[in-house]
Amino acid sequence: MEKGSGSRINQIWGNLVTFVRRSIFCVLSVGPIPNHIAFIMDGNRRYGKKQNLMEGTGHRVGFLALMSMLKYCYEFGVRYVTIYAFSIDNFKRHPEEVQSLMDLMQEKIEGLIKEESIVNRYGVRVHFLGNLKLLSEPVRLAAERAMMATANNSKAVLSICVAYTSTNEIVHAVQKSCEEKWEEISKLNTSGSGYGLIQLGWNEKDERENLIKLIDIEKHMYMAVAPDPDILIRTSGETRLSNFLLWQSAYCSLYSPSVLWPEIGFRHFLWAILNFQRNHFYLEKKRKQL
């Protein structure tokens, strides 16, 4: 009886918390709603040490925090969420730690495909972005399966940056742009349409004219699947971007709560939204000046 009574109380409490949270979201939705929120999930290892947990447990607790943040985002109507899951620089860590993180990543990626997972509950399409060739084969294949399994979901988008740095993304985009432009020039010259450079808009009188345009580079960015972020949240009080979305974050609201990632909660999410809404007009004005 006591167990059943406790279960009912927990259910009632959970329903009450959900009702209050959604009521708060209804009030906040009167103001501008961010279209895209990005997260740097900093502090998992430090949390584990702080709580004297077994190695790797901090990242598992951090995954639960991520699920909560995703739920808040999708309930509030945020269409795009991007997370910094694993940097290229993280491969420099101790091999045993890297392997442990890869195993955990594979486990959680495979969990995304399950019918009851949060991505299926909210109709989320998943993208894995970065230099995926650097991932171990089991993780890369799991990522490909998750992307295929969620390809028809259209209500929201979750971008997971793995084996990613912003500098690598920019170099990749420039290389792809150059390769594409060279193919266009080669085809024009082969077809006898005249000098390829001239056909592509090259002005011989102005050597400063660029063949590679901004739009060419941006369409080859890994992050071309999502608009620029409106809010970027990094936990643990750090104010560095750590080579994450450097190209895309010029005009987004930055928020750096002092808590470690596994400690992030609803109040931090609310504060990030309020800061965004307070500065929205100013940031939009700056964007329009571009």
The residues carrying an active-site annotation are: 42
Alpha helices in the chain (DSSP H): 2-28, 44-50, 57-76, 95-112, 118-121, 137-149, 166-190, 196-199, 214-219, 266-288
Give all strands of the β-sheet with 253-255 in edge-to-edge order.
124-129, 156-164, 80-87, 36-40, 231-234, 253-255
Cα–Cα distance for residue pair 49/280, rounded to 1 Å:
38
Closest CA to 135 of 176, 175, 91: 91
**DSSP per position, 109-149:** HHHHTSTTSHHHHTTEEEEEES-GGGS-HHHHHHHHHHHHH
Decide: helix, strand or coil at residue 66. helix
3-state secondary structure (DSSP) of residue 253: strand
CA atoms of 45 and 60, how far apart (whole Å): 10
State how far the alpha carbon of 187 is from the alpha carbons of 1, 183, 231, in Å.
78, 6, 42
Query: What DSSP state is assigned to residue 156?
Result: E
